[in-house]
């Protein structure tokens, strides 16, 4: 049939389709006329969508009405017998030359853009209510329900609460295969940035104790590290943060429930607590901020015997001899601080270190870690993990296979830590029920530049976004700005360009802007200039260690007045250094401006004010002293 009645909500009897062939008499003849057919269609149905079956924008409009539980009459122009005639009639009747075209109560709403705008402004809902639509709730329990109580979700909740909005935060931690769970605050606070940085600091202090002897400190007793004392201190601090977040939400009158959220219908979500008790809530808008969880290998023994970063920071025993599987920043950071507190650490790498980061810097990090006792097994992947002996820690046998051939190797370890990547927590949220699109392969959610999903009343922020940076401060910024746009009349969007970050490996790596590879890809090798130099921190000269290991590099766009498009530093306090320069990059920093800046002496960051050797020149960048 050329006219397809389609009900997407409660079951109402569909209106009969217009006849395809004339019976007798002039009425049928008039109905067959394309203009008359369109007019009859528009006059006969409360909601009409004129569409084409292959049109993506049409599909989005259909999903919008589906999300509101509003039945509509659908005319797919490309499936009608007189498609060209109907398209001409559409143009003559409406002045529209493209689909979709939406009519509500005979009133033309317009195409894709005008329909979404009408929805966002509430005009569409009011018009549908005039039509007696029963699909939309008369009122909502909340203005905004946030699914996920991590950094981004909490930032959005606290910001939205400033504008007297009624907010609900649903947060639930699914235990790891080893039963590890944690409190409110998300990955960063509980099993990410915070405990990682504290354990990194523990390792740095161990090095500082060694250095102190050269500065005149007499340390008579043997220096040993106490894993239990460290983890207890770290967990106590994290516990104080968990409590602080709950108090902050209560003070702002934000409702918090420790429950798992799943969409069960338009504007409706089911919250299930750890006892299995279910509640249904409604909201005008929703924000998905569920983050990611560590990925497993999918091999025999991985979930039974391996741990992830979700387990490591509260591990009730010292991990002992450890195999870290992966080359991500999580893998290298954990390997670094475990080695720094005196453990035997091996890293098994499938291909390259720090994929997505500047490879020049990544390789320098790997070289430094090897020189400081971390062993690397390159181009191998585990295929089986077996338990030799139970214990805390026990003993495990790992069988690994070469990525370039059939060679296999075996090794024994006390602990195997998997850090091979993370997966978005989106597949069990009931998103398909409300029509939210996700990337089938990655589970990531594509959004507009305002963090809006394809379902207009549902937004998403943080690590689950497709093509965006997986960083806590990014999620926080996006959450705050989203709340300001929704409730405070702001139009400021989150800027995902030139975001600074730091990898807390033993030799810290700070970066902002493009990697050298990306700069070459974007501008061409002939159009970039790379200035670089090694440097030796003054504090390291007395213990006489790690000369010509710290490294500074800037990447400049020659055709844009040598504007700095990439900033990279390897050295102590790299995050502190990078944060300041990131603001300068945001302001359009050029090489000339760097050169005209007077450095602070003697500090590491001053090297960026004196860079003169280019990679292209091949000149020496080795340093002999401060």
Neighbours of 170 (CB within 10 A): 27
> Residue 87 and residue 77: Cα distance in Å, rounded?
7
Asked if 307 and 324 touch (Cβ cutoff 8 Å), the reply is no
User: What are the distances in angstroms from CA 288 to CA 69, 379, 476?
Assistant: 21, 37, 13
Asked if 34 and 58 touch (Cβ cutoff 8 Å), the reply is no
**Max CA-CA distance within the chain?**
111
Q: Pick the catalytic residue: 45, 200, 532, 601?
A: 601
**Per-residue tokens: 136:** 């939309």
Asked if 312 and 335 touch (Cβ cutoff 8 Å), the reply is no
At residue 522's C-alpha, the angle toward residues 521 and 526, to 5°, is 75
- 45 is an active site residue: no
For the sheet containing 107-110, what is the strand order?
A: 4-6, 72-76, 47-51, 101-104, 107-110
Residue 372, helix vs strand vs coil:
coil
> Residue 36 and residue 18: Cα distance in Å, rounded?
11
Dihedrals phi, psi of 532, to nearest 5 degrees: -150, 165
The gap between the terminal CA atoms of the chain, to the nearest Å, is 82
> Residue 309 and residue 331: Cα distance in Å, rounded?
9
Asked if 346 and 323 touch (Cβ cutoff 8 Å), the reply is yes
284-308: b or e for each residue (b if 16 or more CB lie within 10 Å)? bbbbbbbbbbbebbebebbbebbbb
Asked if 573 and 545 touch (Cβ cutoff 8 Å), the reply is no
CA-atom Rg of the chain in angstroms: 30
Residue 444: name the closest of 420, 421, 468 by CA.
Answer: 468
Q: Angle of helix 516-523 relative to helix 359-371, nearest 10 degrees?
A: 170
466-490: b or e for each residue (b if 16 or more CB lie within 10 Å)? eebbbbbbbbbbbbbbbbbbbbeee
Asked if 439 and 446 touch (Cβ cutoff 8 Å), the reply is yes
User: How do strand 167-170 and strand 142-147 relate by DSSP bridges?
Assistant: parallel
3-class secondary structure per residue, 163-225: CCCCEEEECCCCCCCCCCCCCCCHHHHHHCHHHHHHHHHHHHHHHHHHHHHHHCCCCCCCCCC
Mind telling me the catalytic residues? 601
């Amino acid at each position: 049939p050329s006219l397809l009645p389609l009900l997407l909500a409660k079951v109402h009897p569909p209106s009969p389709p217009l006849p395809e062939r004339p019976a007798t008499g002039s009425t049928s003849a008039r109905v067959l006329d394309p203009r008359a057919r369109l007019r009859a269609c528009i006059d006969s149905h409360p909601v009409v969508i004129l569409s084409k079956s292959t049109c993506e924008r049409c599909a989005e409009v259909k999903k919008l009405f589906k999300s509101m539980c509003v039945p509509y009459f659908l005319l797919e122009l490309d499936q009608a017998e007189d498609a060209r005639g109907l398209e001409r009639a559409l143009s003559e009747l409406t002045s529209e030359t493209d689909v979709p075209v939406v009519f509500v109560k005979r009133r033309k709403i317009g195409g894709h853009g005008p329909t979404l705008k009408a929805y966002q402004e509430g005009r569409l809902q009011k018009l549908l209510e005039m039509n007696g639509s029963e699909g939309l709730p008369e009122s909502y329990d909340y203005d905004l329900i946030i699914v996920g109580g991590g950094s981004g979700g909490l930032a959005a909740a606290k910001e939205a609460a400033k504008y007297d909005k009624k907010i609900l935060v649903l947060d639930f931690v699914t235990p790891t295969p080893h039963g590890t769970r944690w409190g409110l605050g998300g990955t960063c606070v509980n099993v990410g940035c915070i405990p990682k940085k504290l354990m990194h600091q523990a390792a740095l202090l161990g090095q500082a104790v060694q250095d102190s002897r050269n500065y005149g400190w007499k340390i008579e007793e043997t220096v040993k590290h106490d894993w239990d004392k460290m983890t207890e201190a770290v967990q106590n601090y994290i516990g104080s943060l968990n409590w602080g977040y709950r108090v902050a939400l209560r003070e702002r009158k934000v409702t918090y429930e420790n429950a798992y959220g799943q969409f069960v219908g338009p504007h409706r979500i089911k919250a299930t607590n750890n006892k299995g008790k279910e509640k249904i809530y409604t909201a005008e808008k929703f924000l998905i901020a569920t983050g990611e969880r560590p990925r497993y290998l999918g091999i025999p023994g991985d979930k039974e015997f391996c741990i992830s970063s979700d387990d490591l920071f509260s591990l009730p025993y010292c991990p002992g001899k450890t195999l870290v599987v992966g080359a991500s920043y999580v893998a290298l950071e954990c390997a670094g601080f475990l080695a720094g507190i005196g453990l035997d650490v091996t890293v098994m790498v499938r291909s390259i270190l720090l994929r997505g980061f500047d490879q020049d810097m990544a390789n320098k990090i790997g070289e430094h870690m090897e020189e400081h006792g971390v062993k690397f097994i390159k181009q191998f992947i585990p295929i089986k993990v077996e338990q030799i002996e139970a214990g805390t820690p026990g003993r495990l046998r790992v069988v690994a296979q070469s990525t370039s051939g059939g060679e296999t190797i075996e090794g024994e370890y006390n602990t195997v830590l998997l850090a091979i990547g993370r997966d978005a927590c989106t597949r069990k949220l009931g998103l398909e029920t409300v029509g939210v699109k996700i990337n089938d392969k990655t589970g990531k959610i594509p959004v507009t530049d305002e963090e809006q999903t394809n379902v207009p009343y549902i937004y998403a922020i943080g690590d689950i976004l497709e093509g965006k940076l997986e960083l806590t401060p990014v999620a926080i910024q996006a959450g705050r700005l989203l709340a300001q746009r929704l409730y405070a009349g702001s139009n400021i969007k989150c800027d995902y360009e030139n975001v600074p970050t730091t990898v807390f490996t033993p030799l810290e790596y700070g970066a902002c802007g493009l990697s050298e590879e990306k700069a070459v890809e974007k501008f061409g090798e002939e159009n970039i200039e790379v200035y670089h130099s090694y440097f030796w921190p003054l504090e390291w000269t007395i213990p006489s260690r790690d000369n010509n290991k710290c490294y500074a590099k800037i990447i400049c766009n020659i055709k844009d007045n040598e504007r700095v498009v990439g900033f990279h530093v390897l050295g102590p306090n790299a995050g502190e250094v990078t944060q300041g320069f990131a603001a300068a990059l945001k302001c359009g920093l050029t090489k000339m401006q760097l050169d005209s800046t007077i450095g602070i002496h003697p500090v590491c960051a001053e090297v960026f004010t004196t860079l003169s050797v280019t990679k292209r020149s091949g000149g020496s960048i080795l340093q002999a002293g401060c």
